[in-house]
Amino acid sequence: MKQRKRKNTVKPVDLMAVYLVLRETFGHRGWWPGDSPLEIAVGAILTQNTSWKNVEKAIANLKAERALSIRALRDLPVDELARIIRPSGYFNQKALKLKAFVEFLDRDYKGSLTAAFRDDTAALREKLLAVKGIGKETADSILLYAGGHRSFVIDLYTRRILTRHGWAPEDVEYDEMKAMFEDAIPPEVELYNDYHAQLVAVGNRFCRKTPSCEGCPLQPMLP
DNA sequence: GGCCAGGACACCA
DNA sequence: TGGTGTCATGGC
């Protein structure tokens, strides 16, 4: 891999030790709310740059309108879909993204999410990334939480926690941070799942844009 | 009333 | 490839 000039120095970190601290604090998270793989995948798209509470409203609307199925998502006019998911914000864009996701499933997997998840992880990730509106975080969330694939998810909180502790450079790239985790911890879906959930738990409480480090279980590890 | 949230993409230099 | 603008609701 090509070496890049770094903006700051990086401290070594034992990411498994970090997980154990979080796990000790928050307990097992058993994460990603959702009753089905489709609901989780839809949630992954709707939560882009949006608080989860708003996503919950949008998903509740989808359920109330019996629109949380591949068929319904396929058949609904895009403006109608946008109306239903309005509380999640960016509703026009996200309606198009949901449409693109279903079109992808129809085209490559005969409209079957189950069939998609039977595919090889790397191959499916590549295909998901080619869908308009699905970037790396969304693809990995769908793979891991909806499909049970071994693909570590990097999100805003993960980035903040690692860069603020000096464990990763400020300009770290997504795939680079993903590899940091995948190289450092045992390759287990359940661990990938719970670790990211732990990072979101600590991020939600302590690592917002304006951090409140008081009481954070990772505070003793700050430089 | 401003800030921010479990991103992604188009466009430009 | 790097920087910037755009998309938008709702909680605090």
For the CA of A80 and the C1' of B11, the distance in angstroms is: 29
Residue A192 vs residues A13, A24, A36, A54, A178: alpha-carbon distances, Å:
17, 16, 19, 25, 11
Token pair, residue A19, equals 């997980």
Residue A156 has pLDDT above 50, yes or no: yes
Nucleotide nearest to A90 (CA to C1'): C8
C-alpha to C-alpha distance for A202 and A157, rounded to whole angstroms? 8
**Which residue intervals of chain A bear CATH 1.10.340.30?**
37-146
User: With a 7 Å cutoff on the CB, does A130 touch strand B?
Assistant: no
Residue nearest to nucleotide C2 (CA to C1'): A171
Query: Where does residue A89 fall: left (phi above 0), alpha (psi -120 to 50 degrees), or beta otherwise?
Result: left
Cβ–Cβ < 8 Å for A142, A44: yes
Q: What mean pLDDT is predicted for residues A191-218?
A: 91
**Which residue intervals of chain A bear CATH 1.10.1670.10?**
15-30+152-221
Token pair, residue A119, equals 């595919």
pLDDT digits (tens, 9 = 90+) for A45-62: 999 999 999 999 999 999
Q: Which pLDDT belongs to residue A8?
A: 62
CATH topology of domain A37-146: Endonuclease III; domain 1 (1.10.340)
Residue A179 has pLDDT above 50, yes or no: yes
Chain C bases near protein Cβ (<7 Å): 2, 7-11
Residue A124 has pLDDT above 90, yes or no: yes
Residue A213 has pLDDT above 90, yes or no: no
Nucleotide nearest to A51 (CA to C1'): B5
Residue A221: which pLDDT band, with cuts at 50, 70 and 90? confident
- Mean pLDDT score across all residues of chain A: 94
Helix (H) or strand (E) holding A38: helix A37-46
Q: Which pLDDT belongs to residue A212?
A: 83
Q: What is the CATH number of domain A15-30+152-221?
A: 1.10.1670.10
